[in-house]
């Protein structure tokens, strides 16, 4: 009986020591696991040539589905007379968006990379509405012209405004345009009125380019083009800075808004975010089309 009791005590003691050892190992593992995990992230996720993730960052392997819905004004004649517009959705027009990055330079002191973010669109006909559908929409080039004239100095404005109505009739420009979805999106359409007005105003003031090639389209010139030059952190020194925007078009702040917070460029370009991401995290994306950071 004495031997059995001794063995039992030894067994309890051994199990106690084993439990303590396992507890210490468990605590150590829980403490070390985040460190090991972050080290692996740092090793594999940073923007550095030769890394597998770098190649996927540079050339996104899976296209993004890009859908556009246009609004057709069904009562344009009544709206001109003062009635409220009635609109209907036309679409969607579906595209596959392929994203790639043309790397321009590396800064090994600040640990940043500078690139042009390129986008290519492929039309997905079988999932889309007819691109030849004609749509009544607000004549935005005309609105732009009117805003431009309104900002001119008094003398040139006084010369242009009296003849404006006749000019608009001559060019058959109206409050609403009637164009195909193809023209309104990527193909665009010529606005001949703009060049003549620019030539007239240029005698008095310096006129910036209003429309490229005097052509308007919501997405005209966007296919196979970039959204500007981005500079972002590589994450080599701190994974929390990974892909965060440092500059866009050589600006650390944009000059478009009258508020310092609106002019901040927060977040990334939207393709990737610093890990780890939690459900409660607020993610910020800088959107060049809107010249704003969105959450």
Residue at 66 is within a domain: yes
pLDDT of residue 159: 67
Give yes or no: residues 208 and 278 share one domain.
no
In b/e form, how buried is each residue of 258-292, taking b as 16+ CB within 10 angstroms? Answer: eeeeebbbbbbbbebbbeeeeeeeeebbbebeeeb
Give yes or no: residues 134 and 278 share one domain.
no
> What value does the mean pLDDT take over residues 233-244?
86
pLDDT of residue 206: 66
Give yes or no: residues 77 and 217 share one domain.
yes
Residue at 207 is within a domain: yes
136 pLDDT higher than 90: yes
Least confident of 8-12, 95-99, 285-289: 8-12
Condensed to tens digits (0 to 9), the pLDDT of residues 165-192 reads 676 777 777 788 899 999 999 999 888 7
How many domains does one find in the chain? 2
pLDDT of residue 80: 84
Domain final position from 207, 227, 247 = 227
Domain final position from 227, 247, 262 = 227
Higher pLDDT, 147 or 33: 147
Residue at 44 is within a domain: no
Give yes or no: residues 107 and 79 share one domain.
yes
Residue at 248 is within a domain: yes
What ranges make up the beta strands (E) of the chain?
64-73, 87-107, 112-123, 134-138, 176-180, 189-190, 215-216, 225-233, 245-248, 285-287, 292-294
Domain that holds residue 117: 59-227
Give yes or no: residues 103 and 206 share one domain.
yes
Domain final position from 169, 202, 227 = 227
43 pLDDT higher than 80: no
70 pLDDT higher than 70: yes
Residue at 42 is within a domain: no
Residue at 20 is within a domain: no
pLDDT of residue 69: 94
Residue at 93 is within a domain: yes
Instruction: Look over the chain and give the mean of its residue pLDDT values, rounded to a whole number.
Output: 82
Higher pLDDT, 30 or 237: 237
When pLDDT is cut at 50, 70 and 90, the band that residue 30 belongs to is low
The neighbouring-strand residues paired with 115 are 103, 230
């Amino acid at each position: 009986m004495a031997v059995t009791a001794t063995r039992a005590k030894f067994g309890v003691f051994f199990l106690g020591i084993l439990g303590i050892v396992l507890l210490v190992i468990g605590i150590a593992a829980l403490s070390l696991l985040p460190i090991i995990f972050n080290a692996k992230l740092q090793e594999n996720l940073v923007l550095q040539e030769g890394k597998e993730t770098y190649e996927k960052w540079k050339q996104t392997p899976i296209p993004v589905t890009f859908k556009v819905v246009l609004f057709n004004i069904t009562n344009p004649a009544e709206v001109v007379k003062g009635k409220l517009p009635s609109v209907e959705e036309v679409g969607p027009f579906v595209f596959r968006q392929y994203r790639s990055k043309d790397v321009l330079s590396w800064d090994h002191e600040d640990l940043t990379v500078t690139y042009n973010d390129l986008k290519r669109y492929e039309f997905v006909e079988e999932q889309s509405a007819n691109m030849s559908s004609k749509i009544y929409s607000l004549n935005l080039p005309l609105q732009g012209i009117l805003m431009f004239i309104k900002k001119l100095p008094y003398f040139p404005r006084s010369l242009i405004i009296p003849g404006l109505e006749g000019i608009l009739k001559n060019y058959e420009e109206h409050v609403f345009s009637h164009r195909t979805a193809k023209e309104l999106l990527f193909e665009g359409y010529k606005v001949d009125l703009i060049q003549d007005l620019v030539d007239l105003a240029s005698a008095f003031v310096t006129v910036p380019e209003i429309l490229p090639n005097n052509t308007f389209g919501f997405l005209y010139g966007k296919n196979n083009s970039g959204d500007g030059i981005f500079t972002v952190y590589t994450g080599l020194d701190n994974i929390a800075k990974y892909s965060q925007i440092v500059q866009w078009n050589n600006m650390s702040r944009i000059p478009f808004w009258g508020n310092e917070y609106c002019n901040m460029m927060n977040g990334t370009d939207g393709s990737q975010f610093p890990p780890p991401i939690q459900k409660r995290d607020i993610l910020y994306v800088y959107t060049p089309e809107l010249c704003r950071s969105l959450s």
